[in-house]
Every structure is written in structure tokens, then in C-alpha cells.
Structure 1
Amino acid sequence: MKPWALITLFLISFSAKCETSLELIREVAESYTLENLNADPHAKVTLQTNALDSRRHFGDCDQPIQASSQSMKPGTRYTTVKVSCEGSSPWLVYVPIQIDIQYPVVIATTTLAANAVLDSSMLEVRYVSSSSLRGGHFSDIDSLAGARLKRRLAAGQVINQNNICIVCRGDPVVIQAVSKNLAIRTSGTALTGGALGESIRVQNTNSRRMVDAVVSAIGQVKVVM
């Protein structure tokens, strides 16, 4: 090999060793994104980073590499992270990242008719992209056991609060009347239906009195006195 070729090869090798790799820049951008997403700990997060221009070269940084973004918002699907070196040979690059967050949610395993009473054989938990979720969904099958569907659901469809009533109109309910020093339980009938935490109208079986109560569980409501 000619002497000038050896010198060129040495210079290329030396230059490569004194550069910050594109792979390291990508890792810094992705680590920053994961740390600042504030995603639910039960969620699955997938990042897809756009390929960086391989023609660009970034010198070895003699300071910690910095990362920042002005587009990190809850629920964001895209962000751009600025990765930079503020050392003696400064540089910066913007790294576009696509974000997919999947949550564990309860879905119907088969087509279900309106008024079906849910049980575990009809349901399963599956990870679903946040971009496909609408309204309040559930992650626990047991919390839906005994709930009734308001409308027909197709297999694979997510169960959300708009699909069900935890207490339905005409259902018998246990009314728990609570005050600071007293708790009384009695039976009643739901005059309207609702999901967990919603206010419904119920009638006390014994007194025939109608009151507003909050749905607290399957077949149970609470009245604060």
C-alpha cells in the first residue's frame, strides 16, 4: 500500500474515533423522551426515531451531551428532541421521534348483545394504542363482573364507561346512607342507570322515598346525609 494511502486510512480511523456516533445521539434523544413522557407505568411505550443524516459528523463532546424539547406534552404522538454539545467543539442536531403508547384495556372477546351481563369469560385484557382509545376505559376485568351492556359490542371492541351501566334502570340496589357518625344500609330500586361515580335516582323500598345517590359498585349506591 502506498504511503499516502496509509496516511489517509489513519486519518479516517482517527477521525471516526473522535466523533460522537449517530447511534449515541439517537440513544440520548430516546432516553430523554422516555424520561419526560410521564406515561403510566403499566403502559408499553414504543419509539420510532427518524434516520439521521449519515453525511453529518459530530465531534467528540468534552462535556455531557444535552437534550431538550419544547413539544413534550401528555399524550403527544410526535416530538422533536434537540441534542447538543456545549463543549469546545459545539454542535447540535434535531431528532424527530414518533411515540406510540399502548395501555392495558378490557375488550370483548366475542360479539355481545345489548343488555348482556358481563363476566370474565366474555372479556380479556389487551394492549391498545392510546390513539384508538375514547372515553373512560377499564384495565381490570373483575371490576366489570356483573355490569350490563347498554348496546351491542363487536368482538375486539374496547369496553368503556359509555358502553355499560354498573347500575341499570330497574335494578335492585343496596343503598348505603352515610353520615359523619352513622352508616345505614337498606334496599331500593334504581330509577335511572349510571356508571361508577355517577349520580342516579333511586327509590327506598321501605319508605318509598326517592333520593339522589352515587353509584359505588355493582348493585350499590351511596347517599351522603
Structure 2
Amino acid sequence: MRRLTLTGLLLTAVFSQTAFPVGNGSSQVLAAATRFLDQFVGQQAAEGYEITYELGNLDSRLRLADCAGGPSVGFSGDPWRSMHPRLMISCEGDRPWKIFLASAVEIRGEAFIAARPLGRGDRLRKEMINRSQVVVNSVRRDAIKDLENLVGMEISRPISAGTVFTPDLVSAPDAVSRGDHVIITARTGNFSVKSRGKALGNGRVGEQVRIENLSSSRTVRARIVGPGHVEVVM
């Protein structure tokens, strides 16, 4: 197995199916794969990530035709969602071939984590959130990178301290709750009129909820446009 860590190298390249002019036949495979991953390491280092990788061994019995110009290399899986993405290495030409090579890739970077255990329905505040170095691609879902996308959100299920925040762990809180008094805006064309109402259910922005108009006692379905505000289009 080959192991390499690079953190400060800045290279620019297109990684998907990039061709590298190295070696001949089977000897080209590991060289091309190594150069491909070195460039991936360099690009992500420029973005603040530290990457360690290992390449699998080739079967010593493998015999491949020489590849003029070198083989092409690309990830066959998403390295940001798996610590074991395979590399697809292929050669075009008169005697084309394609093989898959195992790899282990660890991507470390900063992410937001829970500062303490949190329960379902907890509303996130800044003091509940820490920023820490984590293995980003061990999370298997994109870590939330913007603090503004966390503060004020609700926890969807109980989590322990140190858990990386991902989109499936948080949801927008209800903008209207059953029994809340709300402002109803009724629109028709460019004309609108406002009245007061009472919510008969819970809902988030963009959802519809039943509202009792306190002036007419009529019940209407209205779309929630913000906390305490709903809209009816006539």
C-alpha cells in the first residue's frame, strides 16, 4: 500500500478522466493513479483540506497492453461521500482496456459539530455549535458549512456531542403554530387587504395552514410567508 500526505501543494487540473503520459502497460497504472491523487490533494489543500490516501496493490499477474500517451484516471465514486472510492483507469486505442483500483482516501477539514448532546426539537443557538477538524468524507452526507444555515434551526432527532451537522439533522422551525394570532393578507391582482386571524394548525414557510378569520369567523387555507404572516390569493 502507498501512503502520502500533502497539505500545501497548489496544482490545477481537471481530475475526471485526466490523461497522464507515464510508463508502459501495467507499470503505468500505479504511476497514473498516484499522479491523479497527488493533484487532487493539491487542489483540495488550496481549499483548506488535508488529504491522506493509500492505493491498493495490483495483481502481479495482470498484463496490460502499452497505452500510448498514458491512461486516463477518474474517481468511479464520490470521494467526498466515501473513504474508499475506487479509481477507474482506462486506455483508449487499438487495444483498449479499463480496470478499477481500490483506494482509501481521508479528507480532513473544518465542520460544525454539536457542542453538547441535543434532543429532537431543540432550537439551535450559537453556544450549542462548535467548529472542529473532522474527517469530512466519513460523514457520508455534506457537512453544513454556513453557520447561518444552523442558527435558529430545529434538531430533527437526538444527537450526541461532537456530531457533525448535516442537512438531515436539522429542519426549519414552524413559522406558525396552532393558536397563534396571525396577519392575513388577501390578494387579488394588485389589490390587497389585511385582517387578523388565528392559526388552526402548525406549518413552516411555504406550507399551507388553515386559518380562522377573526372578523368574519370564516376558515380559509393560507400560505405561510413568514413568522406570524399568511397570504391568501383570491
TM-score of the superposed pair, with normalisation by structure 2:
0.52
The structure carrying a bigger helix percent of its residues is: 1
Aligned length: 194
The one-character-per-residue Cα deviations of 1:14-39 (angstroms, maximum 9, x if unpaired) are xx97653624224447979xxxxxxx
Q: CA deviation at 1:148?
A: 6.8
Structure-1 residue corresponding to 2:222: 213
**Runs (5+) with no aligned partner, structure 1:** 1-15, 33-41
Whole-angstrom distance in 2 between the partners of 1:146 and 1:173: 20
Equivalent of 2:71 in 36, 58, 65: 65
Match for 1:53 among 54, 58, 77?
58
Distance 1:193 1:130 in 2: 32
Q: SS at the partner of 1:82? A: strand
From the superposition, tell whether residues 201 and 186 of structure 1 become closer, same or farther in structure 2 (CA, over 3 Å): same
The AA in structure 1 aligned to 2:231 is: K
Distance 1:64 1:17 in 2: 7
Q: 2:170 aligns with which of 148, 160, 166?
A: 160
SS at match of 1:52: coil
Gaps of 5+ in 2: 1-21, 41-46
How far residue 193 of structure 1 moved from its aligned partner, in angstroms, is 0.9
Structure 2 match to 1:22: 30
Separation in 2 of the partners of 1:172 and 1:106?
A: 35
Distance, in Å, in 1 between the alignment partners of 2:111 and 2:232 is 30
Please say which structure displays the higher CA radius of gyration: 1
Distance 2:108 2:220 in 1: 41
Please give the alpha-carbon distance, in whole angstroms, between the structure 2 residues aligned to 1:168 and 1:217.
Answer: 12
CA contact (8 A) 2:74 2:89 kept: yes
Q: Distance in 2 between matches of 1:102 and 1:180?
A: 53
Deviation of 1:166 after TM superposition, in Å, equals: 2.9
Change over 3 Å in CA distance of 1:188–1:76 after alignment to 2: same
Contact 1:177–1:222 under 8 Å retained in 2: yes
> Once the 2 structures are TM-superposed, how far is the Cα of residue 95 of structure 1 from its aligned partner?
1.9
Could you tell me how far 1:94 is from its partner in structure 2? Answer: 1.4
Give TM-score scaled by structure 1 length: 0.53
Give the corresponding residue for 1:11: none
Counterpart residue identity of residue 219, structure 1: G
Deviations 1:116-143 (A, max 9, x none): 665444456777755368xxx9765546
Q: How has the CA–CA distance of structure 1 residues 215 and 25 changed in structure 2, closer, same or farther, with 3 Å as cutoff? A: same
Matched, 1:82 2:91: no
2:14 corresponds in structure 1 to none
Q: Secondary structure at the match of 2:33?
A: helix
Question: Once the two structures are aligned, what percentage of the paired residues are identical?
Answer: 25
2:153/2:170 contact within 8 Å kept? no
